[in-house]
Amino acid sequence: MVIINLVKKKKKSEREGMRLGKYDLGRTLGEGNFGKVKFARNTDSGQAFAVKIIDKNTIVDINITNQIIREIATLKLLRHPNVVRLYEVLASKTKIYMVLEYVNGGELFDIIASKGKHIEGEGRKLFQQLIDGVSYCHTKGVFHRDLKLENVLVDNKGNIKITDFGLSALPQHLREDGLLHTTCGSPNYVAPEVLANKGYDGATSDTWSCGVILYVILPGHLPFDDRNLVVLYQKIFKGDVQIPKWLTPGARNMIRRILDPNPETRITMAGIKEDPWFKKGYIPVNPEDEDVYVDQEAFSIHEQPNEAEQRNSGSPSLINAFQLIGMSSCLDLSGFFEKEDVSERKIRFASNLSVKDLIERIEDTATEMEFRVEKKNGKLKVIRENKVHKTLGCLSVVVEVFGISSSLYVVELRKSYGDGSVYKQLCNKLLNDLGIPPKQPLVRSAAN
C-alpha cells in the first residue's frame, strides 16, 4: 500500500501538533530507545488513543526489528479488556505507528511506589484481572515472558491493562521438546526454571511472575530482592520468600503455591481460578472480537536474519544479561567479565571497539604470530600447525564475538586443542594488542 502524506503538520498552529490520518497527535506520553508514545485523538469520534511511533532505521540499528514485528503480531491476536488494545498499525517509509488503547492511570509500579501496599480486597481484584488477562493470552498461545509491575497499566477506573509484548512467545517458538529456551524477563520476576536454562513452559513461568506481582501488590515490596545478582538468583531457586503473617491464610496460601520453585508442583492458572481466596468476588470478563488493520508498509523494513543466517553473515551474536549469566558456571558472577587464567581452555573479555575493529585486530595479531585464520559461521578459527612435530607448537582456537549492546561486545576464545604455552602466548598478546587491562570489571561495564 502506498502512503501519501500520511503525517503532515497542521498549518494553523504548532500547538495542534501533527496529523496522522484521522488522528491528531499531541503531547508525548513516553519516550524509549526506539521512539516515542504520543497522545492522539480521533478527529471523527473524539476518542483518545496512544500512538507508539517507531523509527524503522533505529530498530534496525539496535537490532530489535523482530521484537517489534513480534509485538504487532501478538497484539493482533489479543482482544481482552485486561490487555492493552491494538487498534491499527499505520506506516510511512521511515516510521511505524501503532495505534493503541490510551490508558490514563499510569503503571502499577508507580501506583504502588506512591501509595504502597493495597488492602487485600483491592489487591485481590487487581490480581483477578491480571490472571484473567494472562490466562486469556495463554489460550491464544501467547506467553508474555516479561510480566512485571512496569508492564501492567491501570486505567482511571482501577482496571488493569497488560502491555509490552515485545518478549512474548508464540507456539512456533517452541522447540521439539515443546518448551521455550530463550532466557529473558526481568531479574526480580523471572521464574527459577527460566534461569536454569534447560527449557521451560511459558504458561508456568508466567504464573510465577504473576505471583511476584501479587506479592508486591499486597505487602508492597518484592519477594525476591538483592543487589547481588548471585544472591538474588539463589533466593529465587530456593523459593526463599518471607510471607507476612498479617496476610490472611488464603492470601498466604496463594502466594506460597504460586511461588513454588518446582514448576511441576506449582499451581496452574486453572488451579488459581478454583482457589477459594481467588474466587471471592470474582467476576470473569469476556474477550471481544474485532479485526486489527495493519498496513503492510509497516513490515517493509530490513528484517533481522534468523539465528542461522546471522551466524553465516559474520555478524556478532546478540546476547542478553541472562545469557551472559548462563555462560558463567554456577551463576558465580564474582569473577565473571574478568580476564580469566589464560592457562584454561576458555577466556572472555569485553571491549567497546566496533566488531569490524575487533575482528581486524584479532586477525592481525594471529597473522603476526604465524597463525592461519579461517572465517566460518560468524566465528574465527585461529590455527597453527607444525609439520615436523604434530603436537609441539600446534594450536587451534575458536574466537567468537557476542554483542551486549550497540557499543559493547564480549570476545570469547576457546582452545580446541594444542599447546597450552602457545595458547597462553596468543591470549596474552591479543589482550595486550587490544589494550585489555589485567583486571577488567565487565559486570560494571555491562551495566553502564
pLDDT digits (tens, 9 = 90+) for 175-215: 888 898 888 888 899 999 998 888 999 999 999 999 999 99
Q: Which residue has 600446534 as its cell numbers?
A: 394
Kindly state the average pLDDT of the residues 89-105: 88
Q: Is there a shared CATH topology between the 108-279 domain and the 314-447 domain?
A: no
DSSP 8-state symbol, 84: P
Asked whether the beta carbons of 411 and 418 are under 8 A apart, the reply is: no
Q: Which residue has 515490596 as its cell numbers?
A: 221
Compute the distance between CA of residue 320 and CA of residue 326 in angstroms, rounded to an integer. 10
Asked whether the beta carbons of 317 and 400 are under 8 A apart, the reply is: yes
The yes/no answer on whether domain 7-102 falls in CATH 3.30.200.20 is yes
Checking if the pLDDT of 234 tops 50, the result is yes
Confidence of residue 130 (pLDDT cuts 50, 70, 90): very high
Checking if the pLDDT of 394 tops 70, the result is yes
DSSP 8-state symbol, 199: -
Asked whether the beta carbons of 110 and 119 are under 8 A apart, the reply is: no
Q: Which residue has the higher pLDDT, 13 or 404?
A: 404
Q: Which SS3 state, helix, strand or coil, does residue 209 take?
A: helix
Average pLDDT over the chain, rounded to whole? 78
Specify the range with the lowest mean pLDDT, choosing from 23-32, 244-253, 337-346. Answer: 337-346
The whole-model pTM stands at: 0.63
Checking if the pLDDT of 61 tops 80, the result is no
Checking if the pLDDT of 226 tops 50, the result is yes
Query: CA distances (Å), 109 to each of 121, 166, 193, 220, in order?
Result: 18, 19, 25, 10
Compute the distance between CA of residue 130 and CA of residue 120 in angstroms, rounded to an integer. 15
The domain ranges of the chain are: 7-102, 108-279, 314-447
The whole-angstrom distance between residue 153's C-alpha and the CA centroid of its chain comes to 18
Please report the pLDDT score of residue 247 as a whole number: 95
Annotated binding site for ATP: 52
Please report the pLDDT score of residue 58 as a whole number: 73
Crossing angle of the two packed helices 420-433 and 355-368, in degrees rounded to 10? 130
For 314-447, the fitting CATH number among 3.20.20.100, 3.30.310.80, 3.40.50.300, 3.40.462.10 is 3.30.310.80
Please report the pLDDT score of residue 116 as a whole number: 77
Residue 197, classified by CB atoms within 10 Å of its CB into exposed (0-12), middle (13-18) or buried (19+), is middle
Query: CA distances (Å), 129 to each of 27, 53, 93, 278, 344, in order?
Result: 29, 28, 38, 11, 52
Q: Which residue has the higher pLDDT, 329 or 73?
A: 73
Checking if the pLDDT of 268 tops 50, the result is yes
E strand residue ranges, 18-85: 18-20, 23-31, 35-42, 48-55
Confidence of residue 144 (pLDDT cuts 50, 70, 90): very high
Asked whether the beta carbons of 153 and 107 are under 8 A apart, the reply is: yes
Give the chain's end-to-end CA distance (angstroms, integer).
42
Please report the pLDDT score of residue 354 as a whole number: 79
Please report the pLDDT score of residue 393 as a whole number: 65
Checking if the pLDDT of 127 tops 90, the result is yes
**Single-letter residue type at 295:** D
Compute the distance between CA of residue 111 and CA of residue 105 in angstroms, rounded to an integer. 9
Specify the range with the lowest mean pLDDT, choosing from 26-30, 83-87, 95-99, 320-324. Answer: 320-324
Checking if the pLDDT of 108 tops 70, the result is yes
**pLDDT tens for each residue of 155-172:** 988 899 999 888 888 888
Asked whether the beta carbons of 325 and 333 are under 8 A apart, the reply is: yes
433 an active-site residue? no
**pLDDT tens for each residue of 296-352:** 555 555 444 444 444 444 455 544 444 444 444 333 333 333 344 444 567 777 777
Specify the range with the lowest mean pLDDT, choosing from 60-74, 85-99, 145-159, 349-363. Answer: 60-74
Compute the distance between CA of residue 233 and CA of residue 220 in angstroms, rounded to an integer. 21
Compute the distance between CA of residue 223 and CA of residue 215 in angstroms, rounded to an integer. 6
Please report the pLDDT score of residue 378 as a whole number: 67
The yes/no answer on whether domain 108-279 falls in CATH 3.30.43.10 is no
Of residues 110, 132, 146, 226, which has the active-site annotation? 146
Beta-carbon contacts of residue 288 (< 8 Å; ≥ 6 apart): 79, 80, 81
Compute the distance between CA of residue 10 and CA of residue 43 in angstroms, rounded to an integer. 13
Compute the distance between CA of residue 188 and CA of residue 223 in angstroms, rounded to an integer. 8
Q: Which residue has the higher pLDDT, 329 or 226?
A: 226
Q: Which SS3 state, helix, strand or coil, does residue 381 take?
A: strand
Checking if the pLDDT of 60 tops 50, the result is yes
Q: Which residue has the higher pLDDT, 441 or 182?
A: 182
Specify the range with the lowest mean pLDDT, choosing from 46-60, 205-219, 260-274. Answer: 46-60
Q: Which residue has the higher pLDDT, 242 or 345?
A: 242
**Single-letter residue type at 188:** N
Kindly tell me the number of DSSP H helices and DSSP E strands found in the chain: 15, 16
